C-alpha cells in the first residue's frame, strides 16, 4: 500500500506527549489566515499558542466524553480527529490534517467511516464561514447548512 491509500489510516487516543504535534496541526489550520495579518512571527506564535490552548481546553472541558484522536498514516501522525458520539447524532468537533497531507483522500476516508457508523443518525460539524474550501469539502460528502451562527455554520449530513 502507498501512503496515499486511505486504508493505511488508523486512530489512537491523544496523550499529553502529543501536545506539540496537536499545536502543529492547529497552526497549520490557521496558516492562510495569519498570512494576511501584519504581525511579526513572535506575535503570530503568541496568538497561535493562546488560541490553541483555549480551544484545546474548551474541547476537553465541554466535551469530556468525546473521543480525541491522532490520525496516523502508516503509523505516522498526520492530523487530529475529535468526535462526540451522542445518542441522537455524531458531532465532529474537529478534523484537521497537516497541510502536506491534505488533498490525498484521508479526510474523505475518515468521514466516510463516520457516516457509515452513524447508522441512521445525523452527523454534524461547525465550520468557520471564512473557509469556503472546507465548506465545499463537506458539501461534496452530502453535508448541508443546518444553522447559521454568523462566524460559523453548522453543517449536517442526514441519512437518506
Q: What is the pLDDT of residues 112-126, one digit of tens each?
A: 999 999 988 999 999
SS3 content of the chain, % helix, strand, coil (to 5): 40, 30, 30
For 56-103, the pLDDT digits (tens) are 999 999 999 999 999 999 999 999 999 999 999 999 999 999 999 998
* Closest to 154 (Cα-Cα) out of 92, 84, 75: 92
> Could you give phi then psi for residue 159, rounded to 5 degrees?
-60, 145
**Confidence check: pLDDT of 43 > 50:** yes
Global pTM value: 0.91
Burial (CB count <10 Å: 0-12, 13-18, 19+), residue 151:
exposed
The residues spanned by each domain of the chain are 6-157
User: Quick check: 138 and 155 in contact, CB under 8 A?
Assistant: yes
User: Quick check: 49 and 56 in contact, CB under 8 A?
Assistant: no
Bridge partners of 126, per DSSP, are 154
- First and final CA of the chain: distance in angstroms? 33
What CATH number is given for 6-157 in this structure? 3.40.630.30
Q: Is 92 helix (H, G, I), strand (E, B) or coil?
A: strand
For the chain, percent of residues with pLDDT exceeding 70: 96
Question: Distance (Å, rounded) from C-alpha 22 to C-alpha 137?
Answer: 22
Question: Distance (Å, rounded) from C-alpha 141 to C-alpha 132?
Answer: 14
Amino acid at each position: 500500500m502507498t501512503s496515499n491509500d486511505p486504508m493505511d489510516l488508523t486512530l489512537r487516543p491523544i496523550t499529553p506527549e502529543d501536545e506539540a504535534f496537536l499545536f502543529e496541526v492547529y497552526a497549520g489550520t490557521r496558516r492562510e489566515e495569519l498570512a494576511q495579518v501584519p504581525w511579526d512571527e513572535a506575535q503570530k506564535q503568541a496568538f497561535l499558542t493562546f488560541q490553541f490552548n483555549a480551544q484545546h481546553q474548551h474541547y476537553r472541558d465541554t466535551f469530556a466524553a468525546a473521543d480525541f484522536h491522532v490520525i496516523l498514516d502508516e503509523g505516522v501522525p498526520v492530523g487530529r480527529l475529535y468526535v462526540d458520539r451522542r445518542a441522537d447524532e455524531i458531532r465532529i468537533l474537529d478534523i484537521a490534517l497537516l497541510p502536506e497531507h491534505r488533498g490525498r483522500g484521508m479526510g474523505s476516508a475518515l468521514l466516510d467511516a463516520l457516516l457509515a457508523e452513524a447508522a441512521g443518525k445525523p452527523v454534524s460539524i461547525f465550520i468557520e464561514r471564512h473557509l469556503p474550501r472546507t465548506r465545499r469539502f463537506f458539501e461534496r460528502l452530502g453535508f448541508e447548512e443546518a444553522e447559521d451562527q454568523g462566524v460559523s455554520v453548522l453543517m449536517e449530513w442526514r441519512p437518506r
